[in-house]
Amino acid sequence: MYPVITISREFGSGGHSIGEKVAAKLGIPFYDGEIVTRVAEESGYAKELIEEQGEYSTSANKWFDISAASAMYFQSPQDEIFIAQKRVILDCAAKGPCVIVGRCADYILRKEDVKCLNVFIHSDMEHRTERVLKRYGEIKNVGIEKRLAKKDKQRKTYYKYYTDQQWGNYHNYDVALDSGELGEETCVHIICELYNKK
């Protein structure tokens, strides 16, 4: 049995919702928002900042521009959040089977030799657009495709920075599923099957 299921996902692909349903079906904890709460407690940073900087490289975050040399002398808030997040993720995994969404959990747990079922959820633009508009609504003067592309880019950059791996690259996942094509319920079913197979 896999102790932990990690879910990485494209923005708007329904990965969060799929993870939640998988956890409910398997009767194991689901960690997403709770990680943010615990990192906030541990680090002292505000939840909003952790939500923003715990998975995304943002334009407000200039730390990515700092040279390796100068970065040796201090930790950026993003680094501190990453480290606190890592501790919380390892702690969650140590407690037993669970589902963890995003936050480089696949990489963090692999590095620590925690056996995981690593899942990647993606979808076509049409399904993602529909889901994001339904969930978050429109943003004035910002096209939906641009919003999706920006979020993906921020996740990619964040993942690359902390793992030196390519986000979405098949080598990093045991299974990758197209939630738009297959449907959310089928994705939930397949992940649960794989979890129970081992």
Q: Contact positions toward its own copies, by CB under 8 A? A: 120, 122, 124, 168, 170-171, 173-178, 181-182, 186, 189-190, 193-194, 197
108 CB neighbour count, 10 Å cutoff:
22
Q: How far is the CB of 73 from its own copies (least distance, A)?
A: 38
Q: How far is the CB of 65 from its own copies (least distance, A)?
A: 28
Nearer to its own copies (CB atom), residue 36 or residue 132 = 132
Q: How far apart are CA 178 and CA 37, in angstroms?
A: 30
Q: How far is the CB of 183 from its own copies (least distance, A)?
A: 8
Nearer to its own copies (CB atom), residue 76 or residue 186 = 186
Q: How far is the CB of 170 from its own copies (least distance, A)?
A: 5
Find all residues with CB under 8 Å of 1, minimum gap 6, and list them.
97, 195, 196, 198
In contact, 121 and 14? CB cutoff 8 Å: yes
In contact, 123 and 111? CB cutoff 8 Å: no
82 CB neighbour count, 10 Å cutoff:
23
Nearer to its own copies (CB atom), residue 103 or residue 128 = 128
Nearer to its own copies (CB atom), residue 22 or residue 84 = 22
Q: Which whole-number Å values give the CA distances from 51 to 19, 111, 178, in the listed order?
A: 18, 23, 25
